Every structure is written in structure tokens, then in C-alpha cells.
Structure 1
Amino acid sequence: MKDWEILEKVSQGDEKALEYLYKKHYKMMTRLVINNNGTEDEAKDIYQEALVAFWQKAIAGNLVLTSKISTYLYSVCLNLWRKELDRKGKFAESDKEEFTFQEFEKKERIRIIHECIEELGDTCRNILTYHYFDGMSMTDIAKKLNLANTDTAKTKKYKCKKKLDLLIKRKYSSSDFLD
């Protein structure tokens, strides 16, 4: 279902559309809380609160989406979790500045990429890690891995990146990347 279809159905009171929405984004929304000092129960509560807010605004006709539903729900969950952490006193002032939507999104993307790189073979894992995370040149990578030359390293990097892209697309939906 497309976002506009979901919004239309939810605004008409379709509980199945809301249930679909709940299941579709459950993993991403609960991961936000769990990865930031929360428990699974707290994560479920925060996500349910966000969905109730979404539901109420949609039913009232007050919901105007300027982004994807996943981005909207994520922002609501983020704000609710910040408030909860403030209430519990777990969220120091210095952390507030660092705990932004963009920071979390970046960390989450890197975590997913690292997870998928680990599933690749040794050569691909090494080439991609050396190049993208260690900043090594293709010449240095070719020498380090005993490859014939820089062009061989570039070709292998290209093929490995394609494998990584396919693996990520197979394992994760675009909403896991919040784009």
C-alpha cells in the first residue's frame, strides 16, 4: 500500500490499515527506543502512542503529511521518547544536542551496512571496509590484498558494492533507511 492509500483508509476509520502500518514500521520505530536506553516494552508503548496520535489526527482531518508516513511516525516517536527520557532524568543536556534525527539516521544506516558487509566474503568485506571506512586508496588496497593492480581492485570493489546493494535491498525495506 502507498502512503496516500494508508492515510486515506486510516482517515476513514479502517483499523486494518492502521494494523498494516503498525506491522510495517514496528521494527524501525521500536529500534529507535531500544537503541537509546529503552526497553522493548517502552519501545512498544512509545510506538503505540505515536500511532494513536497519527490515528486521531487522521480521523479529525488534521493530518497533512509533508513527508513519508514512516518519517512522520519516526519524528513523533523520537519526540515522545525524548520527553520520556527527560521525565526519567536519563537524558543529560549534553546528550540532547547530539541526539538528533539525522544523527540516529546516519548511525542506523552505518549499522545496517556493517551488518551486511559482514555477510559478504572476506575479499569483499576487506575491500569495502578498507575503502569506505578506512579511507584507503585503491592502489593501497591492491597492494595490501595482493591483487594484480589498481584496476583489478577497482573492478572487485565495484562488484562487491553491487553485491552489498543487492543484499541490503533484499534484507531491508527503504523505510529502514528512512528516506
Structure 2
Amino acid sequence: MNDQEILDRIKKGDEAALDYLYKKNYKMMVNMIIKNNGSEDEAKDVYQEALLAFWTKAASGKMEMTSKISTYLYSICQNLWRKELSRKSKLTNEQKDGPQPDKSEETERAKIINKCLNELGETCKKILYYFYYDELSMEDIAEKMGFANADTAKTKKYKCKKELDKLVKSRYSTQDFLD
């Protein structure tokens, strides 16, 4: 079966094409992940997720192939594996940071910060919420706030953060934020 036949069969919903792809590319995809510090189970999961993504895109008819299917699948697997490694790295780093503060301490700290945030001007409050809570980029914040560019948003965020720090430090003991 060539790549065009596979795509045509996928568009028709022929699951045999999926089975064929799975078997044909299995070793290459699994070996790539194992060579990059993955287990066979992780490799199978990533490969199945990649096949599902490929199937969905191909079945929609919106796929334009500029390379072989195996190359496309390999690329999907690589990207998914990188994301998984990054996620695992974050989890490991969080575990290394030691015991986490209990929820009541976190809640109290959040209340203190929110109280001080409410004392800032509306512009500062919005900028800090957009950045820390909504996790927007400086470009997005500049656009939402009507600033000339991202640099203006960065400068304003910096000033607002300094003002928030000053409010928190003046009103609360640093012990409130240290274990």
C-alpha cells in the first residue's frame, strides 16, 4: 500500500489502513523514543497518540502531504515525546524542591496578595492579573491594554510588580511568606 492509498482509505474510514500504518512504522517510532530515555510503554502511548492525531487530520481531508507518512508520524512522535519529557522534568523538579506548603498557607498568601492587588490602580491590577493568572504574553497584554508595544507593557508590569512588592512588605511580615 502506498501513501496515497493509505490516505484515501483513511478518508473512507477504513481502520485496516490504521492497523497497517501501526505495524509498518511501529519499530521505528518505538526505537526513537526508547533511544531518547523512554520506556516501551511510554513509546507505545506516544505512538498511539501520534497515530490518532494523524488519523484525525487525514480523515478530515485537510491534510496536504509534503513528505512520506512515516516522516510525518516520526515528527509527531518526536514533538509529543519532547512535550512528555518536559512535563516529566517539571514534575521531577517540583518533587526536588522539597515539601510543599500546605493548602491553608497557600490560601492565606493568596489572600494577602489579592488584598494588596486590589489596592493597586486598575491598570496595574489588570496587567498583573493578565500576566500571572491568565499567563498572557507581553504582546497580548500590550494589545489588550492599548499600549504601543510589548516593551511598554514590560516596563509597566515591572513598575506594578515593584509597587505590589512594596505594599506586601509594608503591611505584612516577611515571615508570612517564609517557612
Q: Larger relative contact order (C-alpha < 8 A, sep ≥ 6)?
A: 1
TM (norm. structure 2) is 0.49
**Greater Rg over alpha carbons, structure:** 2
TM (norm. structure 1) is 0.49
